[in-house]
Chains A and B, each alone.
Chain A
Amino acid sequence: MERNHMAYLRQKATPYEWQDILANLNILGPQQWLSEKVICRDLMDLWWPLRHESQTGCVYLPFSIVHENSIAIGKRGVDEQGGITHFREGPFHDQYSSVVPRLSHRRIGFVLIRNLGLLQTSHGSWTNATESPNHFFAVLFDYDSRRAYSFGAFGGQSTIVRCQVATESDWGSWYGPELWRCLACQLGWEEASQPSDDINVITKDWEQVGFHAICTFCVLTASVNPEWL
């Protein structure tokens, strides 16, 4: 058994990963906000067995790592360019070293929390944000065609979603350009990480009516494994 797979299994079996879900299964009931644990875990479980077979689906990145990157970018400030780590030193090396070099494409997908911007302001803290509803949205970066897709990043003017940091959809509001660069470096695609203006950002948003985290999940699941549809 390959080393990466053992690492993944070990992480999967850690009680910390699943005990909370079992204790809070009611979040899967109707009219409940899904937590990132449920979404991310399920997507990882879905994607991991397919990591060598699925050459069409994107690489799914775990939420926790991307989220840490976002936090770090937010703390550093948008204009600073530091903190870029390379693949060997980066957080993906442990589990993705057997995956990334074999890929026929450079396409990644992940989920983010929409109210991340709120966390960066003085009004909010991480604790408050986790207690408030998590507004997930899905992101796909296609480095080959230099396209960035975001699904549901802007929730409209609905009163249900109050944690808006922008009045219109803008990938800069969730540090899209910085994440593009940072994640490319961490996955070992340095040439793709060069800043350029030719990145085509395609945004699909919809009016939020609440409880649409599951929509995000669907989109991501479909992107990871097309056969899921």
Chain B
Amino acid sequence: MYAIDIMSRLIKGTGTEGVLDATTPISFPTCLHPERKQLLHRTMLEIHKSLVIYGMIPELTEEQPIDTGNNPFLLDNVRAKKFGSVPSFRVVSRQLEEAMLRCDQCGTERRGVVEKALRPIADILMVTGRPKRIAGGRGDPSRMVISNEDEELVETGEMDSEDEDLPMLKPTEFLAKPQPIPRTQRASVPVYNLVDAASEVRMRKFDLKHDDYDTGPTAEDTLAIHRELIVCFDNQPEDFKWISMMLRFRDHGYRVLPGSLDQFYLDEPSPRDQLAHLFPTPPSHDVNEWRKRASEELALEDIISLGNQSPLPESCITGSDMVQWGLKDMINSSGPEGSVSSMMAYVTGRVDMGSEESSYIRLDMMKDRVWPQAVEISMDIDSVIWLATRLKVAGVFNLHTSPYRKERPPISIANHVYVELLWPRTDEDVAGGRISGGAKQVPLSNLPNTHFATFGRVEGAPNIAVVFPRMKHRYPLRSYWETKLPQEVELLWLRNVVYGALHRLEDNGIKPYVGLSYEDTKWRHVGAQETTQVLAHEHLEQLQDHIDAILEENHGDPSYDCFRSYFFVLEIRGIKVATSSDDLESKDPWDSLVRNYPAFDWEYMEDTENGELLIDLGFGFHPSKEAHVVGFWNVEMLHLGYGFGGYNQGITHSVCTIPSLGGIQAEMSKARRLRIHVAYRQSYNLAYEAIRGKLTRERNGFFSAESAYHLKDDYRTTIEGITGAFTRSINRSYGVRDEYRCRASIRRLFPVLILKVCGLLLPRFHNSLMTLDRHEDTWPSWTPSCGYPAISGSPSRGGV
């Protein structure tokens, strides 16, 4: 019993019997920080009162003047109740707050307050968010009617609680209202409305013990440092404090949530809705309406936003005074190479009509469109991304034991994966004992990361990166996110954590082979770019336990705390060749993936409890080799499909300067993505593969505008290279490709998806339907490969 309780009973005269016996154990709270804080504030208030009274008693002011010391403004501040301006008060107050942050007892009390505050919300969600009992299955909306009998049963509690129709909630989940989906995405075409949308969705429940929500610097701290930095940068550039990388790569107060890695809601979307977003095809009447509007109502100012001052004549729109040429005409009718007519056609865009008259050429890309006789559809998984806090593999792996050497971190470009982070607390939150109230989704590529393990050194080999969200920051006074760990910071991770965990492995058999320290490994493998340690899959689990233990043991040490809240990202990229399948009915790309990568426990990875597994599901449309055609997406029609599927505007990569052909890459809008489990789609033309490689990836082999103007060597070399690449590929046929990044559970829809693709598309290609099909123009247009430089939009690095 606390002494205060005893005293309270004594004074109130209630329950004093036996309280003060000699045998009653008495104890005191281990922490009295709140009382100290209260005492501090009350003392200041009392001094303020005393000062006011002092001023009201004239004889006192004459008898006993106040010694203000060397701080003449001290009394003014106290008199005005501006205690924050009193230096000693500020210091003591700060000391107390810091002590409270470090104090376990205060932390427990704070958590109690937060839990108390949060519990009603969670309870409300658990109770009111639960859907009503539904008669029939969830899939059929016509059956989603609650019968009156059932309602009565629910009220009287007579219905069996083990109803199969209710979503089974795990202890870590709760039901919530989903984000509303906007009704329109693009102006061109109405967006698909979800048919089977549930009114509540499962989400990961918040857990106060998931991360250290009551520690870390506040937003004001960061701001103060930043302000100091600017002042310092202006006045004393030599003392530029942020130059210190340990100050940049430190705990900035970001924390992860239990559902941080979830890209989507935990509910499976209805197959019908999900299928509608894969190869979305707007209804024919919408397409026709759009086409009609585009052809009839399109005015000049719709095309060129220059108002009525357009330099182009009306005939440019109607094309009445121009020659309409297709690609074949451009090759055949413009004359031989080097002739005046060919130069005129390609440089000025005109054709000589004789008798000193010339006419402009209107290039119609669709004029020579052909329908190939045979089109094969292939399906593959191009890449795999797995986000997890706890790794589990089924085979041997290589643990990186040296710092990352490359220029860019392992995850350096946006891969359309987002992580939800709890924002740093404010000073108010700290004073009120609350956790931060703001969470935000940030791109994974904005978070500092480095390599952790690898499964091989070849292209397409799986790599595991470790991500440290607490150290997220922008480079000071610059605009980019600094995500590559400096070697000094990474050595802290390696020396303190990775090597520490390695040495704690219980297996005696491996101990002689594990490097003693990073210096030891470096000396023994002198000159090696990177060193790895081979370990078995059971070692990985022990290793993670030890890493967690080391971080926990050093809780409070800034050089360890910055690494907490870490998680792993497994990436397998560029494996479409390994998983591609032409025989869709008998061979599943998922089976190919599992067979080709036996070192992973795919079942474990697929379970959303253990992380988020995303796959890039790719579909290739390949004309036969004999057809000699090149496929291009019709961008205008593709936009209709993207708009109907609710995708964002994205980026359009046109082929050369022709706006109607090219590719699109776009993310799904957020609210829809959460529901439909499709994050991203990209459609591009496979002719790009003719020149794809390091040249296009790094873009350092291309010429600048200046060198083109001056006809420099790099301009000539590049042009010759590209021309050569296309000339070599002249006898090949290229198709088009469509890719979707979605949760791996979409594999349950593979049979239906194959039916949709084969049943809807293949017959049309095979039968060469030239008549108006209701989905005709939403699919690729095929153009003969007659030497046309088929440079398409680049899927990931921008077009040429």
Contacts and interface: CB of A to CB of B under 8 A. Distances in A.
A114 interface: no
Interface residues of B, number: 48
Contact of A214 (B20, B35, B47, B57): B35
A148 to B, nearest CB: 11
Interface residues of A, number: 46
B92 interface: yes
Q: Which of B65, B95, B99 has the most CB of A within 10 A?
A: B95
A205 B92 CA distance: 30
B96 A149 contact: no
A223 B7 contact: yes
B602 interface: no
B8 interface: yes
A219 B3 contact: yes
B647 to A, nearest CB: 56
A45 B50 CA distance: 10
B665 to A, nearest CB: 56
A214 B4 contact: no
A93 interface: no
A202 interface: yes
Given A57-B11, A222-B7, A28 B40 contact: yes
B46 A10 contact: no
B13 interface: yes
Nearest to B45: A45
B140 to A, nearest CB: 61
Nearest to B42: A42
A223 B65 CA distance: 36
B78 A22 contact: yes
A56 B57 contact: no
Given A9-B53, A26-B88, A28-B92, A42 B43 contact: yes
A172 to B, nearest CB: 17
Given A204-B26, A226-B12, A30 B7 contact: no
A111 to B, nearest CB: 13
B3 A151 contact: yes
A105 to B, nearest CB: 10
User: Of B26, B32, B91, which is in contact with the most chain A CB atoms at under 10 Å from its CB?
Assistant: B32
Contacts of A18: 46-47, 50-51
B489 interface: no
Contact of A58 (B11, B12, B43, B78): B11
User: Looking at chain A's contact residues, is the secondary structure mostly helix, strand, loop, or mixed?
Assistant: helix
A82 interface: no
Given A25-B40, A214-B39, A217-B39, A41 B54 contact: no
Interface in A187-227: 202-206, 211-212, 214-215, 217-219, 222-223, 226
Interface in A14-69: 14-19, 21-23, 25-26, 28-31, 38, 41-42, 45, 56-58
Nearest to A23: B69
B57 A10 contact: yes
B28 A206 contact: yes
Given A9-B53, A149-B20, A218-B32, A28 B11 contact: no
Contacts of A29: 36, 91-92, 95-96
Contacts of A17: 50
A1 interface: no
Given A13-B54, A214-B39, A218-B4, A25 B89 contact: yes
B35 A25 contact: no
Contacts of A76: none
Given A25-B88, A56-B11, A223-B7, A15 B99 contact: no
B6 interface: yes
Contact of A38 (B10, B39, B64, B69): B39
Given A13-B60, A149-B20, A204-B26, A22 B47 contact: yes
Interface centre among A29, A206, A217 (most CB of B within 10 A): A29
Contacts of B705: none
B27 to A, nearest CB: 7
Contact of B3 (A13, A19, A26, A215): A215
A120 to B, nearest CB: 28
B182 to A, nearest CB: 52
B158 interface: no
Contacts of A152: 3
Contacts of A28: 36, 39-40, 43, 92, 96
Closest 7 CB pairs of A and B: A30-B99, A13-B53, A13-B54, A25-B88, A29-B92, A29-B95, A222-B7
Given A30-B95, A222-B7, 10 more contacts: A12-B53, A15-B67, A26-B91, A29-B91, A152-B3, A203-B22, A206-B3, A211-B32, A214-B35, A219-B3
Interface of B: 3-4, 6-8, 10-13, 20, 22, 24, 26-28, 32-33, 35-36, 39-40, 42-43, 46-47, 49-51, 53-54, 56-57, 60, 64-67, 69, 74, 78, 86, 88-89, 91-92, 95-96, 99
